[in-house]
Amino acid sequence: MENNSIDINVNLSIETFQEGNLTRTKIAEPGKFTQIGKSIYLRFNESLENGAKASILVKVAGDGEIHVKRVAKDTNLSSLLYFTHQKHNNGQLETEYGVLPLDTFTKDSQIEIVSKPLSGKINIDYDLVYDNNVIGNYKFRLIFGV
């Protein structure tokens, strides 16, 4: 499987709780699964308004750390967030006005991957932190398979 991409289907649901409001986002898209060494990579797009797309890359490192990179060229927004079970991590949001430091606190993370047939799930419960203030609570649920 090393260095080869495998076509997968990705279902991602994100629950966001900010300022007393709960928002749910669901994404169902085709994607690619790649394994390089002990790291795995999931690539897929998110359909935005007006036919625009955001590209999403989820990396699970060999040590279990999860990286989520999202780039939306049409809106000049990109983010890179890191998740380590029960730890604080530094990340960032890049806007046309500059880079904002965004931190995460991963309350819980679970990764399950089965090789035959290829499938898996990545669950992350985390707080998003800006300037030492929690600005939102998130539940990230990604399920994929061939």
Alpha carbons 106 and 28: distance in angstroms, whole number: 24
Cα dihedral 127/129/134/136 (nearest 10): -50
- 64 in the Ramachandran plot: left (φ > 0), alpha (ψ -120 to 50) or beta? left
Do 125 and 134 form a contact (C-beta atoms < 8 A)? no
Q: What is the pLDDT of residue 75?
A: 86
Q: What is the pLDDT of residue 84?
A: 97
Q: What is the pLDDT of residue 2?
A: 46
Q: What is the pLDDT of residue 1?
A: 40
Cis peptide before 30 (omega within 30 of 0): no
CA angle, corner 97, sides to 17 and 102, nearest 5?
40
How does pLDDT run along the chain (146 residues), one tens digit per residue?
445 899 999 999 999 999 999 999 999 999 999 999 999 999 999 988 888 899 999 999 999 999 999 999 988 899 999 999 999 999 999 999 999 999 999 999 999 999 999 999 999 999 999 999 999 999 999 999 99
- CATH T-level topology, domain 5-145: Lipocalin (2.40.128)
State residue 97 phi and psi, 5-degree precision: -95, -5
